[in-house]
Amino acid sequence: MVSDYRRLFDLEALKLDELSLAVLGTAMDGGGRSGNVTLDAGYVYLGQFISHDLTKLRRSEPLPVRHGASEEELQNLVTSSLDLDCVYGSGEEDNNPVVDWDTGKFVLRETIASTVGDMHLKATSSDLPRRENLEAWIPDIRNDDNLITAQLHVLFLKLHNSITDRPAQEPLVGSAKYDNAQKEVSKIFHGIVLYDYLKQVLHEPVYEALIERSEPLLPDEDDFKGPLPLEFSLAAGRFGHSMVRANYRINDYGIDGIKSITELFALSSGGSRLQRDGGLQQKFVVDWDFFFRPNNEESIRNPARPIDSFIGFQVRADEISDKTNLAARNLKRANELGLASAQAIIDAILEAYPEYGENASNGGLGLRKLAAWEFDEDFNVLDEPGISESLKSATPLWFYILGEANYYSGGRRLGPLGSLLLGSAIVGILRPPQGKFEPSSFISSLGGEEKVFTMRDVIDYVRSNEEKQ
């Protein structure tokens, strides 16, 4: 049986008892701990969007799963090819987006007209399509678990629709317009992932090697086009949880524009505020200038939290279906599926590639095995009563990746290990047959200028098209 997942490293699983996991998870609950880094918060939610497009793990065996469950027990409910199936679906009848096939456009839901002070805000087509019970009618419902991710999904739907408005050299039927727009959106998305998102979050020497020099850094990188590494799905791909803020300003509508993370959940599928209002009010539509700064602005309106050993937000229990502490849930899942410790993985990498331990100035990546006091120096989470002393030398991979980022950059970007695991997984999926990345492969001429799009370019293009309507 071919599995949807695999382990990059055939190493002994780190087996922790439930008490140690629970104590560590509780200690990581920052409960609104603040802090800023020089990264627009939009990239945190773009990372969630990318992760949703890559992995949705289901186990054939009910919980609890035995330690070191085999890969054959694991199923990925989405494709792991960054083909935007979270937007375009998989072709299955119950997994299709809502499309007007006469025009080739996605159907969007109108918001509810709102009043803010003396201002009357007209309804616009700025919400996800929804069923009668207000559940989002999209291929992957996870993209409506909070308002920001839902609005990001809307942005990609609007990008698609804007492309269908472009004049064609010859008349096209709706399905052809849809297909053409899908190809263009996918190309733009891949360019954003490689040249915008990864550039923002990877350790710079790793980014330069993977993207700028097109060097594979881990063995069997071609295999990444098949089964997805569990080290990505259960650890490296979850670093963004630490960067979520407790509060955001989503637009410029006074107090209505400031939302706690609980309120953002309440404004999504199944959320209490969305249900109470009967839909999304216009005053809650996200202004993307607050999440991806305009090109002429230096200040960041919503900076991300640092990547560190804490989860800095809490969601009121009645707004989420899983009441488990998020940190404890991440730790428990990796423990159940038998990931090796971070230290064991670093030993394996340095044994195969000792040059990665050299500093960047000497052509290396600066990868080394940090002592507990180094990757946890600011927070002393591992000194909490009840946490086993052994965790300081054999640490859960996800927890280590967070602490490593804090050590190397103050939490602004991932460290060497986290970057190797995240970057290699994504780059391996997108690497072209010829092996070398060429920016020209991702150039779009939307808006009259040929370039590789960033998220900021998408926002400006969609906004310009809306202003013409």
Residue located via tokens 């330069």: 208
Angle, CA of 47, 50 and 52, to the nearest 5° = 110
List of long-range contacts for 210-213, beta carbons under 8 Å, 24+ apart: 210/423, 210/424, 210/427, 211/427, 211/437
Question: What is the structure's pLDDT at 378?
Answer: 65
> What is the pTM for the complete model shown?
0.93
Element (H, E) at 75: strand 74-76
* pLDDT tens readout for residues 5-29: 888 888 999 988 888 888 888 888 8
Residue 90 has a pLDDT of 77
- pLDDT tens string 416-451: 999 999 999 999 899 888 788 999 999 998 888 899
What is the pLDDT at residue 27? 86
Percent of the chain with pLDDT strictly greater than 70: 89
| Torsion sign, CA atoms 378, 383, 389, 394 | negative
| Locus of tokens 């949703």 | 52
Residue with the bigger pLDDT between 469 and 445: it is 445
> Can you tell me the distance from the alpha carbon of 357 to that of 4, in angstroms, rounded to the nearest whole number?
31
Task: Name the residue type at position 60.
Answer: S
287-336 confidence digits (pLDDT tens):
999 999 999 899 999 999 999 988 877 665 555 555 568 888 899 889 98
The predicted-structure confidence for 147-181, as pLDDT tens digits, reads as follows 999 999 999 999 999 999 987 766 778 889 999 99
**Preceding omega of 64 cis (within 30 degrees of 0):** yes
- 1: pLDDT confidence band, cut at 50, 70 and 90? very low
Question: On the CB side of 95, how many CA atoms lie within 13 Å of its CA?
Answer: 14
pLDDT 10s digits, 80-104: 779 999 999 976 555 678 999 999 9
pLDDT digits (tens, 9 = 90+) for 107-150: 999 999 999 989 999 999 999 999 999 999 999 999 999 999 99
| pLDDT band of 69, cuts 50, 70, 90 | low
pLDDT above 50: residue 64: no
pLDDT tens for 23-63 read 888 888 876 567 899 999 999 999 999 999 988 776 655 54
The token pair that represents 119 in the structure block: 């201002």
* Residue 261's CATH number: 1.10.640.10
- Domain tally, the chain: 1
What is the rounded distance in angstroms from the CA atom of residue 411 to the CA atom of residue 39? Answer: 10
Give the pLDDT band of residue 280 (cuts 50, 70, 90).
very high
Q: Give the CA angle between residues 337, 339, 345 to the nearest 5°.
A: 170
Q: What rounded mean pLDDT belongs to the chain?
A: 88
pLDDT at residue 34, as a whole number: 74
Asked if 145 contacts 268 with a C-beta cutoff of 8 angstroms, the reply is yes
The answer to whether residues 390 and 384 touch, using CB atoms and an 8 Å cutoff, is: no
Q: Which residues form the domain of 434?
A: 5-468
Q: What are phi and psi of 219, to 5 degrees?
A: -65, 155
Q: Give the pairing type, strands 74-76 and 109-110.
A: unpaired
11 half-sphere exposure, CB direction, 13 A CA radius:
21
Q: Are 248 and 257 in contact (CB under 8 A)?
A: no
DSSP secondary structure, 127-138, as one string: E--B-TT--B-S
Q: Are strands 228-229 and 247-249 parallel, antiparallel or unpaired?
A: unpaired
